């Protein structure tokens, strides 16, 4: 049985405890220490994001150099990366010229993808009831119809109707109940996940 | 100006290529996707270097004082250890940095969940029964009370819907108690309503993006033509 | 032949083997004594050939490899041959002579069981010998003291004196060492010692060569046999004269047996009656005398101690000749005749004349082999024959006792002591009634190979039940420790006391018993004390219980094959079975009723949607009316918050949406930004997403340009009125750091290198030390998580600073609870809210066109949903109708 080093869990728990303690204890020392630890964490987060990007590059590098299944797309990706990285290092991200890279390439592509999503959702709405059966499916479709109508401007018109307006208004606020329940569940799950990390039950850092 | 036209032209072409996906997956679409990923990765790398690495880990050693240097040594060392994650043989050295990051993130997550969501939403569930406030808002107290009860019941039922663990003792069928099952069924309705609203919102967002793109295309064409 | 037949299984074995390689039986006797009659040695080949052709086979033990055949084997064979010849002689005597002329010694001859038995009376033996002496005119030596019953316990040394006398008497019958013993047989009278002086009838018996032939001559005289004319005068008895024998067979009598040359009794050679028989005689002269004769010579020379015999107790083999009981078993007894007796008897029985030199082997020795073939006759007459008198031939009596004779061990044939010979009762054998019976018994079993060692004593049936103590033929020097002494002693006493007492196997016999070796290994499994009470083996001890097995082994218990499972386990099994059933059964995929390809449908829907959008965009709305774009509570609240801000205040604007939502956010956030710019508020942009800083710059640039172009601004905004803090990594952690120490969180701005080093030195951020120093915090986000993060991390720290949020339509429903609780002071979500605020704030823009396009798009979506639902209902109805029909 391989004995795991207790150093990493100890550091994790210690740092987390100090940061969490700062939420409830307004002591200056605790606050300063907490700020310092969080500062280091933010720096590490940046480095972690950079490691992720470098890993992406390495993977596609291997794909591009694979003699059997050489990927043309990986070559293009690496070329785009190198060019953008080089230009960005030269010009800096704040340079208006470099910002065109984002505005002219990234924004159109992503926005166009969102536009295609709209058409896809429209096509999926035709078979919505065919796929989703049962109470939840029916309620879902009815709710989607209702809110699509609300978002298309019917609510202000309906609100002017004496009783229907009230009901419409109530129905417009009805998702809050479900959303609140979902948010509470998310918060409780986050709390449990954090506690499991502090207790050492989960060690996602042992890669 | 020409530079702007060039970039606009690039945008236009890319938009059309992405729209061509409606005809099916093809080589040009994959080309655009690869280009997009490469550019985004390059921009992100540059941004991280300029926004994080240089000001936090490099500049303090040149411009900052001793205190700044001391404050920069720990993240620098931890950052270098994290770089070992790129090499499988030495990836275990980066566990310390990952553990530090996980510890800070978990603490912040717990603090925000407890203080921000749990306390606030629980308070809000109770605030619905403030009939006085509802009257000041011009709402009927009875209506307000009924709405508060419904919202409270909806919140609880939606929260109980996600409770799937049951007792195994004296429970061969592994089923939830009947009362819990009934409440979870009602919570399913509230969740379906919320998901319907979210679905409408997603479509609305996608529709807005479509409108934006169509507007861009028409403007470019008009610019070209006229 | 180079092989020896196993006395038990009959399979060939090498000559040098002492134990059988197949069954483990002892081939070579351990004590050098004769094998028990129960072992039933097979008939040697040379003896079998004699049966066929009346000739001594050349491959007899004497000639077959003189080096391979041990001397003791040769002696045994010779002895067998002689016994067979004796049996044949008896037969001839009884057949061809008057009954009253039957020599006493023949009539006194008994069955093999009686040879082994110890219940032979001394008196009968004495009479037999006495008759021989009187007939020959031989002066018996001084009578020996009365035989002692415990003679076998007498140490050999004390009996040596008597042995010597006895042996000396026999010397008269012995042939000379060198040369023909037949020639010297008549020189000296044979002095037959009294029966008491007879030692244990175990070989080797040594006697002088000359003495041997004399007594035989005397026998011949009594019997009235006349040797043939051409038969050289020898000391062979007359009865043997008519016997024919093959001179060549004499060679087999052996060269290794130790028989000195020329030691063939004259009566033996005289009985041959052939000139050419002198050759074998001469051959024999050159060869060593037979073993059984050599024993006498050695005893005389005192080279080897003679096996002491119980004082006064004649050897069993002698007593065997005094058979008083007819043999019961008939089968195979003929095969039990010793080889030397069988081979010596030829087809013709011709007794040599007394006094004649027996230059050749007497024919009776060869003709003894015929007794095996005529076993039935002999056996049949066995019951009629009179028991052999106690007096046995001297040459029998002079056979040495069981005492080990080291020097002559292999060259002498030994007869086990009488005490060790099994009793007839115990062995379930019948005593030999007559000499012929004894001879028959002594003859080896024909069913067994002829190379079997001499087994002169075969008691009882062919396949008698093997007693416990039954032992095959062993040598004389078998240690007594290997032999159960109790039984022989017991058998001796029993034989003496009761003729019907069960025979006991002598020790040497038991030692030779091969079964013992197997039985011993399994003796632990067999209760020796357990006597079978039923079945064919009733009364036998040490038998494997047969009937008890039925009681011991019962029917095994039948265990139920049914699986024992608890209720819970069964329930789990039911659940698992159901899961497996559902998993294994393929779910039927509903067939799509739409016949058109999916791509066409998708293109059609896209066309409809695009047309619905392009129509208002291209053609424009007829008016700038925006029906349905009314003011809601949330919109008014948000608007009030913005309007509450004063010019010159710093507003923190967090641009946290991705590039893909920039289109929607353009419609939702532009109006807010334009209002903030119009109000001359200082905007500080910050972002927790990577594309945020660039999107923030683009949003600010568009808003300001449109506002300026629309005339909403008198002048372009000042650059210092906008600060971009750039990207904050870490998500929640950076927000917490921004809350705690904004300057530490955003150290560098999103600015060009040539610009100010620190954004906190700009005018926009003057006096800003904490998040609460901002006039308002407006978050532009597209995701619920980002909005929730801002609310959770900064909402608690913002005391008087309103937190406003402009979100995407997809995040609105989930962030609505925060707005209802007051954690978010104002919430705008989606294009509709943005257009509504733009309309409310009277910001320039093409809101009507975009709103109409948006509204038409939503209508199309509603139409699609309803169409799908209606189609589904129609299909369902049609299918139900089909089912009903």
Mean pLDDT of C603-618: 90
Mean pLDDT of B134-140: 81
What number of residues does chain A have? 207
Residue A35 with chain B: CB contacts under 8 Å: none
Phi-psi region of A173 (alpha: psi -120 to 50; beta: other; left: phi over 0): alpha
Q: B residues 207-226 near A, CB within 8 Å?
A: 207, 209-210, 212-214, 216
Tokens of C812: 């609105």
**CA of B44, closest CA in chain C: separation in Å?**
6
Cα–Cα distances in angstroms (integers) from residue C696 to residues A114, B37, B216, C726, in the given order: 20, 21, 19, 9
Lowest-confidence pick of B99-103, C24-28, C188-192: C188-192
Q: Which residues contact C405 (CB under 8 A, 6 or more apart)?
A: C32, C204, C295, C298, C304, C305, C306, C307, C412, C414, C476, C477
Count the alpha carbons within 13 Å of B97 in the hemisphere toward its beta carbon: 26
Query: CA nearest C505: which of C527, C538, C479, C473?
Result: C473
pLDDT of C17 reads 85
Q: Which residue has the tokens 């059964």?
A: C585
Residue C643 has pLDDT above 90, yes or no: yes
Query: Using CB atoms, which chains have 3+ pairs under 8 A with B?
Result: A, C
Q: A residues 171-190 near B, CB within 8 Å?
A: 173-188, 190
% pLDDT > 90, chain B: 57
pLDDT of C372 reads 46
Residue A104 with chain B: CB contacts under 8 Å: 7-8, 10-11, 14
Report the greatest alpha carbon distance in chain A. 73
- Mean pLDDT (chain B) is 89
Mean pLDDT of B192-201: 94
Residue B105 with chain A: CB contacts under 8 Å: 41
- For every residue of A98-109, DSSP letters joined together read HHHIIIIIIHHH
Q: B residues 120-139 near C, CB within 8 Å?
A: 120-121, 123-124, 127
Query: Using CB atoms, which chains have 3+ pairs under 8 A with C?
Result: A, B
Residue of A120, A153, A173 with shortest CB distance to C629: A153
Do C792 and B116 lie within an 8 Å CB cutoff? yes
Asked whether the beta carbons of C466 and C518 are under 8 A apart, the reply is: no
Cα–Cα distances in angstroms (integers) from residue B56 to residues A41, A95, B83, C471, in the given order: 11, 21, 16, 109
Residue B186 has pLDDT above 70, yes or no: yes
Query: CA nearest B215: which of C616, C511, C724?
Result: C616
pLDDT of C518 reads 55
Mean pLDDT of C509-532: 63
Q: Using the 8-state DSSP alphabet, how is residue C588 labeled? A: P
Mean pLDDT of C332-351: 47
d(CA A81, CA A54): 11
d(CA C839, CA C854): 15
Asked whether the beta carbons of A186 and B118 are under 8 A apart, the reply is: no
Do C745 and A42 lie within an 8 Å CB cutoff? yes
Lowest-confidence pick of C210-214, C764-768, C775-779: C210-214
Q: 10 Å Cβ neighbour count for A11?
A: 19
- Antiparallel, parallel or unpaired: β C682-687 and C826-829: unpaired
Cα–Cα distances in angstroms (integers) from residue B96 to residues A11, A21, B87, in the given order: 8, 21, 15
Q: Which residue of A has its CA nearest to C820?
A: A176
pLDDT band at B64 (very low <50, low <70, confident <90, very high): low
SS3 of residue C199 by DSSP? coil
Residue A183 with chain C: CB contacts under 8 Å: 788, 814, 817
pLDDT band at C164 (very low <50, low <70, confident <90, very high): low
Residue A118 with chain B: CB contacts under 8 Å: 203, 206-207, 209-210
Mean pLDDT of A64-93: 91
- For every residue of C741-757, DSSP letters joined together read -HHHH--S-S--TTS-S
Q: Using the 8-state DSSP alphabet, how is residue C719 labeled? A: G
Q: Which residue of C has its CA nearest to B196?
A: C813
For residue C121, report the phi and psi dihedrals to the nearest 5 degrees: -75, 140
- For every residue of C22-48, DSSP letters joined together read TT--B-S-SSBBPPPGGG-PBPPHHHH
Lowest-confidence pick of A19-28, B88-97, B189-198, C42-51: C42-51
Residue C482 has pLDDT above 70, yes or no: no
d(CA C197, CA C167): 9
Residue B198 with chain C: CB contacts under 8 Å: 810, 813-814
| Cα-based angle C540, C542, C544 (whole degrees, multiple of 5) | 100
pLDDT of C476 reads 47
Mean pLDDT of C233-243: 46
Chain B interface disruption, residue of A47, A89, A149, most B CBs within 10 A: A47
d(CA C445, CA C51): 13
Residue B109 with chain C: CB contacts under 8 Å: 732
Residue of C728, C814, C865 with shortest CB distance to A125: C865
Is any Cβ of chain B less than 8 angstroms from the Cβ of A48?
yes
Q: B residues 72-131 near C, CB within 8 Å?
A: 104-105, 108-109, 111-113, 115-117, 120-121, 123-124, 127
Asked whether the beta carbons of C433 and C382 are under 8 A apart, the reply is: yes
Identify the sign of the CA torsion B192, B196, B201, B206: positive
ipTM: 0.93
Do C601 and A121 lie within an 8 Å CB cutoff? no
pLDDT of B48 reads 95
Asked whether the beta carbons of C673 and C642 are under 8 A apart, the reply is: no
Residue C376 has pLDDT above 60, yes or no: no
Mean pLDDT of C764-777: 90
A-C contacts (CB, under 8 Å): 172
Q: B residues 157-186 near A, CB within 8 Å?
A: 157-159, 161-162, 185
Do B23 and C850 lie within an 8 Å CB cutoff? no
Is any Cβ of chain A less than 8 angstroms from the Cβ of B199?
yes
Do B172 and C858 lie within an 8 Å CB cutoff? no
d(CA C250, CA C283): 8
Cα–Cα distances in angstroms (integers) from residue C768 to residues A32, A187, B211, C761, in the given order: 19, 32, 39, 10
**CA of A58, closest CA in chain C: separation in Å?**
21
Compute, in degrees rounded to 10, the torsion defined by CA atoms A102, A108, A114, A115.
170
Residue of A107, A126, A180 with shortest CB distance to C864: A126
Residue C238 has pLDDT above 60, yes or no: no
pLDDT band at A44 (very low <50, low <70, confident <90, very high): very high
In this predicted model, what pLDDT tens digit does every residue of C45-88 receive, in sequence order? 555 555 544 444 444 444 444 556 778 888 888 888 888 888 77
Is any Cβ of chain A less than 8 angstroms from the Cβ of B64?
no
Query: CA nearest C504: which of C483, C520, C489, C519?
Result: C489
Is any Cβ of chain B less than 8 angstroms from the Cβ of C575?
yes
d(CA C791, CA C70): 119
pLDDT of C586 reads 78
d(CA C794, CA C536): 109
Residue of A47, A104, A206 with shortest CB distance to B79: A47
Q: B residues 71-110 near A, CB within 8 Å?
A: 71, 74-75, 78-79, 82-83, 85-86, 91-92, 94-110
Residue B207 with chain A: CB contacts under 8 Å: 118
**CA of B70, closest CA in chain C: separation in Å?**
15
Specify the CATH number of the domain C633-848. Answer: 3.40.50
**Which of B75-79, C230-234, C561-565, C745-749 is the most confident on average?**
B75-79
In this predicted model, what pLDDT tens digit does every residue of C522-550 receive, in sequence order? 555 555 567 777 778 888 888 776 655 66
Q: Choose between B64 and C674: higher pLDDT.
A: C674
Q: Which residue of B has its CA nearest to A33?
A: B71
Q: B residues 106-145 near A, CB within 8 Å?
A: 106-111, 113-118, 121-122, 124-125, 143
Q: Which residues contact A133 (CB under 8 A, 6 or more apart)?
A: none
d(CA A144, CA A142): 5
**CA of B195, closest CA in chain C: separation in Å?**
9
CA C320 to chain CA centroid, nearest Å: 51
Tokens of C512: 């030779």
d(CA C82, CA C263): 14
In this predicted model, what pLDDT tens digit does every residue of C657-709 receive, in sequence order? 999 999 999 999 999 999 999 999 999 999 999 999 999 999 999 999 998 88
Residue B54 with chain C: CB contacts under 8 Å: 748
Identify the sign of the CA torsion B211, B217, B221, B222: positive
Tokens of C152: 């076998």
In this predicted model, what pLDDT tens digit does every residue of B7-59 receive, in sequence order? 999 999 999 999 999 888 889 999 999 999 999 999 999 999 999 999 999 98
Residue A137 with chain B: CB contacts under 8 Å: 192
pLDDT of B17 reads 94
Chain C interface disruption, residue of A50, A92, A98, A123, most C CBs within 10 A: A123
Mean pLDDT of C865-879: 88
Is any Cβ of chain C less than 8 angstroms from the Cβ of B193?
no
Asked whether the beta carbons of C455 and C76 are under 8 A apart, the reply is: yes
Residue B85 has pLDDT above 70, yes or no: yes
- Mean pLDDT (chain C) is 67
d(CA C882, CA C880): 5
Residue C396 has pLDDT above 50, yes or no: yes
Residue A151 has pLDDT above 80, yes or no: yes
Mean pLDDT of C276-297: 50
pLDDT of B4 reads 85
Residue A175 with chain C: CB contacts under 8 Å: 813, 816
User: Is the preceding omega at residue C42 within 30 degrees of 0, hence cis?
Assistant: no
Domain coordinates in residue numbering, chain A: 1-91
pLDDT of A190 reads 92
**CA of A132, closest CA in chain B: separation in Å?**
12
The partner residues of C3 in beta bridges, in order of sequence, read C14
Query: CA nearest A141: which of B200, C873, B202?
Result: B200
Count the alpha carbons within 13 Å of C680 in the hemisphere toward its beta carbon: 7
Do C868 and A111 lie within an 8 Å CB cutoff? no
| Mutual angle of helices A107-126 and B2-19, in 10-degree steps | 30
**CA of B88, closest CA in chain C: separation in Å?**
24
Q: Which residues contact C390 (CB under 8 A, 6 or more apart)?
A: C108, C120, C121, C122, C123, C124, C125, C126, C127, C128, C195, C314, C318, C319, C322
Residue C279 has pLDDT above 60, yes or no: no
Residue C727 has pLDDT above 60, yes or no: yes
Question: What would the 3-class secondary structure string for C418-470 be?
Answer: HHHCCCECCCCCCEECCHHHHHHHHCCECCCCCCCCCCCCCCCCCCCCCCCCC
Do C818 and B120 lie within an 8 Å CB cutoff? yes
In this predicted model, what pLDDT tens digit does every residue of C803-858 receive, in sequence order? 999 999 999 999 999 998 889 999 999 999 998 998 888 888 777 788 889 999 99
d(CA A10, CA A16): 10
% pLDDT > 90, chain A: 57
Residue C269 has pLDDT above 70, yes or no: no
């Amino acid at each position: 049985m391989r004995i795991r080093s207790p150093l990493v869990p100890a550091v994790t728990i210690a740092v987390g405890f100090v940061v969490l303690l700062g939420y409830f204890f307004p002591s200056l020392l605790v606050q300063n220490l907490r700020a310092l630890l969080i500062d280091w964490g933010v720096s590490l987060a940046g480095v972690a994001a950079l490691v992720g990007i470098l890993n992406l590059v390495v993977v596609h590098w291997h794909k591009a150099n694979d003699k059997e299944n050489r990927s043309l797309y990986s070559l293009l990706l690496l070329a785009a990366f190198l060019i953008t990285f080089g230009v960005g290092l030269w010009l800096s991200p704040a340079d208006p010229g470099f910002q065109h890279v984002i505005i002219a390439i990234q924004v159109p592509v992503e926005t166009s993808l969102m536009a295609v999503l709209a058409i896809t959702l429209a096509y999926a709405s035709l078979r919505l009831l065919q796929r989703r059966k049962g109470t939840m499916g029916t309620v879902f479709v009815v709710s989607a119809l209702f809110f699509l109508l609300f978002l298309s401007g019917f609510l202000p018109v309906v609100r002017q109707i004496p009783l229907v307006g009230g009901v419409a208004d109530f129905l417009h606020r009805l998702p809050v109940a479900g959303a609140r329940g979902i948010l509470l569940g998310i918060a409780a799950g986050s709390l449990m996940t954090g506690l499991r990390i502090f207790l050492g039950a989960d060690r996602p850092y042992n890669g | 100006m020409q530079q702007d036209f060039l970039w606009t032209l690039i945008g236009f072409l890319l938009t059309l290529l992405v729209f061509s996906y409606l005809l099916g997956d093809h080589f040009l679409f994959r080309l655009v996707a690869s280009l997009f990923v490469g550019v985004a990765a390059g921009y992100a790398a540059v941004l991280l270097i300029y926004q994080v690495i240089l000001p936090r880990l490099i500049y303090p050693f040149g411009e900052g004082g001793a205190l700044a240097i001391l404050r920069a040594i720990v993240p620098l060392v931890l950052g270098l250890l994290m770089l070992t994650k790129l090499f499988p043989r030495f990836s275990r050295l980066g566990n310390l940095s990952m553990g530090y990051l996980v510890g800070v993130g978990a603490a912040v997550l717990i603090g925000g969940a407890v203080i921000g969501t749990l306390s606030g939403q629980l308070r809000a569930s109770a605030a619905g029964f403030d009939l006085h406030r509802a009257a000041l808002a011009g709402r009927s107290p009875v209506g307000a009370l009924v709405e508060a009860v419904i919202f409270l019941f909806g919140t609880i039922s939606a929260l109980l819907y996600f409770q799937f663990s049951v007792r195994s003792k004296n429970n061969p069928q592994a089923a939830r108690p009947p009362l819990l099952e009934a409440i979870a069924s009602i919570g399913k309705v509230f969740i379906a309503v919320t998901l319907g609203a979210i679905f409408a919102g997603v479509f609305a967002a996608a529709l807005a993006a479509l409108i934006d793109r169509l507007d861009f295309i028409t403007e470019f064409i008009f610019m070209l033509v006229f | 032949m180079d092989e020896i037949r196993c006395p038990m299984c009959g399979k060939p074995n090498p000559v040098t083997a002492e134990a059988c390689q197949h069954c483990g039986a002892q081939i070579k006797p351990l004590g050098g004594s004769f094998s028990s009659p129960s072992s039933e040695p097979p008939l040697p080949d040379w003896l079998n050939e004699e049966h066929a052709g009346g000739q001594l086979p050349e491959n007899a033990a004497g000639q077959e490899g003189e080096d391979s055949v041990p001397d003791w084997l040769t002696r045994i064979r010779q002895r067998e041959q002689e016994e067979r010849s004796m049996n044949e002689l008896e037969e001839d005597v009884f057949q061809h002579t008057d009954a009253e002329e039957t020599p006493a010694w023949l009539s006194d001859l008994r069955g093999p069981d009686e040879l082994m038995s110890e219940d032979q009376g001394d008196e009968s033996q004495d009479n037999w010998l006495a008759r021989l002496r009187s007939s020959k005119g031989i002066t018996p030596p001084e009578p020996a003291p009365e035989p002692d019953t415990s003679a076998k316990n007498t140490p050999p040394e004390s009996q040596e004196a008597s042995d010597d006398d006895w042996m000396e008497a026999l010397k008269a019958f012995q042939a000379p060492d060198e040369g023909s013993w037949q020639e010297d047989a008549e020189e000296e009278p044979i002095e037959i010692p009294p029966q008491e002086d007879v030692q244990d009838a175990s070989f080797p018996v040594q006697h002088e060569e000359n003495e041997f032939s004399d007594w035989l001559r005397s026998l011949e005289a009594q019997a009235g046999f006349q040797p043939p004319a051409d038969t050289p005068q020898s000391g062979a008895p007359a009865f043997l004269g008519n016997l024919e024998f093959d001179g060549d067979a004499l060679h087999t009598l052996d060269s290794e047996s130790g028989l000195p040359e020329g030691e063939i009794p004259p009566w033996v050679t005289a009985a041959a009656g052939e000139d050419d028989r002198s050759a074998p005689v001469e051959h024999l002269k050159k060869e060593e005398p037979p073993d059984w004769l050599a024993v006498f010579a050695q005893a005389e020379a005192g080279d080897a101690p003679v096996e002491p015999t119980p004082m006064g107790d004649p050897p069993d083999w002698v007593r065997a000749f005094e058979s008083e009981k007819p043999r019961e078993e008939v089968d195979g007894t003929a095969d039990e005749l010793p080889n030397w007796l069988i081979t010596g008897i030829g087809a013709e029985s011709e007794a040599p004349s007394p006094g004649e030199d027996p230059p050749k082997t007497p024919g009776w020795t060869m003709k003894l082999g015929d007794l095996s073939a005529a076993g039935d006759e002999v056996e049949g007459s066995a019951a009629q024959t009179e028991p052999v008198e106690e007096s046995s031939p001297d040459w029998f009596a002079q056979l040495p006792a069981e005492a080990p004779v080291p020097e002559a061990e292999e060259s002498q044939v030994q007869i086990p002591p009488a005490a060790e010979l099994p009793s007839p009762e115990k062995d379930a054998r019948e005593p030999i009634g007559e000499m012929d019976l004894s001879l028959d018994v002594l003859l080896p079993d024909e069913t067994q190979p002829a190379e079997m060692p001499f087994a002169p004593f075969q008691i009882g049936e062919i396949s008698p039940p093997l007693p416990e103590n039954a032992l095959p033929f062993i040598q004389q020097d078998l240690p007594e420790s290997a032999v159960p002494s109790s039984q022989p002693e017991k058998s001796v006493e029993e034989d003496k006391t009761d003729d019907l007492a069960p025979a006991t196997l002598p020790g040497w016999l038991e030692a030779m018993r091969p079964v013992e070796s197997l039985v011993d290994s399994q003796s632990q499994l067999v209760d020796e004390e357990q006597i079978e009470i039923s079945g064919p083996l009733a009364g036998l001890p040490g038998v494997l219980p047969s009937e008890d097995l039925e009681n011991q082994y019962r029917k095994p218990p039948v265990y139920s094959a049914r699986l024992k499972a608890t209720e819970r386990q069964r329930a789990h099994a039911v659940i698992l079975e159901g899961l497996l059933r559902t998993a294994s059964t393929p779910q039927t995929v509903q067939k799509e009723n739409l016949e058109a390809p999916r791509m066409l449908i998708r293109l059609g829907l896209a066309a409809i949607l695009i047309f619905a959008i392009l129509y208002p965009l291209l053609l424009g709305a007829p008016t700038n009316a925006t029906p349905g774009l009314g003011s809601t509570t949330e919109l008014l609240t948000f608007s009030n918050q913005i309007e509450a801000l004063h010019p010159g205040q710093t507003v923190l604007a967090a641009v946290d949406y991705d590039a893909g939502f920039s289109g929607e956010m353009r419609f939702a956030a532009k109006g807010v930004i334009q209002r903030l710019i119009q109000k001359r508020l200082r905007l500080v942009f910050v972002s927790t997403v990577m594309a945020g800083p660039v999107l923030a710059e683009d949003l600010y640039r568009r808003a300001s340009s449109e506002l300026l172009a629309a005339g909403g601004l008198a002048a372009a905004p000042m650059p210092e009125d906008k600060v971009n803090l750039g990207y904050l990594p870490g998500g929640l952690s950076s927000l917490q750091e921004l809350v705690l120490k904004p300057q530490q969180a955003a150290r560098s701005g999103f600015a060009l290198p040539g610009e100010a080093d620190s954004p906190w030195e700009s005018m926009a951020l003057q006096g800003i030390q904490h998040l609460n120093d901002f006039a308002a915090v407006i978050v532009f986000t597209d995701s619920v998580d980002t909005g929730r993060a801002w609310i959770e991390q900064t909402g608690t720290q913002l005391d008087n600073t309103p937190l406003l949020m402009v979100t995407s339509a997809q995040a609105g429903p989930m962030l609505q609870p925060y707005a209802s609780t007051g954690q978010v002071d104002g919430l705008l979500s989606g294009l509709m809210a943005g257009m509504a605020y733009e309309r409310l704030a009277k910001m320039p823009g093409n809101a009507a066109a975009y709103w109409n396009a948006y509204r038409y798009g939503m209508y199309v979506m509603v139409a699609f949903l309803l169409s799908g639902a209606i189609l589904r209902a129609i299909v369902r109805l049609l299918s139900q109708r089909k089912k009903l029909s």
